[in-house]
């Protein structure tokens, strides 16, 4: 049985992705990358995660605007706030102070290794965000007791399964974290609603 070759595995996966995603000629692109090119690719991949988060955030804004009947002008202000905020900025990903106030954190996590459970780091990151939504952030604007709270996820079967597992296996957040049901209207400021959004929806 052949032994695992880490370099070969990375080379195969990267080359196959580039050829398939961009309809490029079959070639060893990985083998032609020096340190500067690899570092550049790493930087671009960080931007891709930021792009996914931005698109998911905008999708959530469109969804919540319908659910809470947010007037068009306030919806435009929300979108402008999202577009004006740097990815590394302190505070919440979305913060609505007028009308029905709410805050939201947006997560683009996909369970590791193609599974249906989060890895330890992913799980801990979600728990920290849930606690920040419940208890506030030191560098974020203060919220009122009536503020609704949301954790936004990609609408994928594996993400839904991972969230169900997280909620049922972690007593620390089981009472605070509620997955919003279909056609359910969020109205309880004492919980964090888990909601799903689709990019481009």
Q: Could you write out the DSSP letters of every residue in 12-74? A: HHHHHHHHHHHTPPS--TGGG--HHHHHHHHHHHHHHHHHHHHHHHHHHHHHHHHHTT--HHH
Domain of residue 91, residue span: 53-197
Nearest to 153 by CA among 191, 126, 115, 121: 126
CA angle 75, 150, 96 (to 5 degrees): 35
178 within a domain of the structure (yes/no): yes
Does residue 80 have a pLDDT over 60?
A: yes
- pLDDT of res. 60: 96
- pLDDT of res. 1: 61
Task: List the alpha helices (DSSP H) in 68-156.
Answer: 72-84, 120-135
Q: How many domains does the chain fold into? A: 1
Tens-digit pLDDT profile for residues 109-168: 899 877 899 999 999 999 999 999 998 887 777 788 899 999 999 999 999 999 999 988
166 within a domain of the structure (yes/no): yes
**Which stretches does DSSP call E strand in 109-184?**
148-154, 177-179
What token pair was written down for 32?
């032609």
- pLDDT of res. 71: 94
Nearest to 128 by CA among 96, 173, 167, 94: 173
pLDDT band at 87 (very low <50, low <70, confident <90, very high): confident
- 173 with 133: CB under 8 angstroms? no
- pLDDT of res. 118: 92
Tens-digit pLDDT profile for residues 132-142: 999 888 777 77
98 within a domain of the structure (yes/no): yes
- 129 with 149: CB under 8 angstroms? no
Nearest to 93 by CA among 175, 149, 154: 149
**Paired strand residues for 193:** 150, 178
**Of 88-92, 106-110, 196-200, the least confident:** 88-92
Backbone phi, psi, residue 2, to 5°: -65, 145
121 within a domain of the structure (yes/no): yes
39 within a domain of the structure (yes/no): no
Does residue 201 have a pLDDT over 70?
A: no
- 148 with 100: CB under 8 angstroms? yes
Does residue 196 have a pLDDT over 80?
A: yes
pLDDT band at 170 (very low <50, low <70, confident <90, very high): confident
β-strand pairing of 94-96 with 148-154: unpaired
46 within a domain of the structure (yes/no): no
Report how far residue 147's alpha carbon sits from residue 132's, in angstroms, rounded to the nearest whole number. 13
- pLDDT of res. 200: 65
Range with the largest mean pLDDT of 4-8, 42-46, 68-72: 68-72
163 within a domain of the structure (yes/no): yes
167 within a domain of the structure (yes/no): yes
State pTM to two decimals.
Answer: 0.84
Tens-digit pLDDT profile for residues 14-66: 999 999 999 999 999 999 999 999 999 888 887 888 899 999 999 999 999 99
**Residue 177 DSSP SS3:** strand
């Amino acid at each position: 049985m052949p032994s695992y070759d880490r370099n070969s595995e990375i080379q195969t996966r990267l080359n196959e992705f580039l050829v398939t995603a961009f309809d490029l000629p079959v070639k060893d692109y990985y083998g032609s990358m020096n340190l500067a090119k690899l570092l550049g690719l790493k930087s671009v991949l960080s931007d891709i995660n930021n792009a996914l988060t931005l698109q998911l955030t905008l999708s959530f804004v469109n969804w919540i605007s319908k659910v809470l009947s947010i007037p068009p002008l306030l919806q435009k202000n929300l979108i402008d706030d999202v577009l004006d905020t740097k990815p590394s900025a302190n505070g919440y990903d979305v913060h609505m102070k007028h009308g029905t106030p709410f805050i939201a954190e947006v997560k683009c996590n996909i369970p590791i290794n193609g599974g249906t459970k989060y890895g330890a780091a992913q799980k801990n990151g979600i728990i920290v965000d849930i606690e920040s939504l419940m208890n506030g952030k030191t560098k974020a604007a203060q919220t009122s007791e009536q503020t609704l709270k949301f954790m936004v996820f990609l609408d994928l079967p594996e993400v839904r399964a991972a969230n169900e597992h997280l909620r049922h296996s972690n007593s620390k957040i089981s009472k605070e974290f509620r997955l919003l049901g279909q056609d359910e209207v969020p109205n309880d400021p004492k919980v964090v609603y888990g909601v799903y959004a689709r990019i481009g929806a």
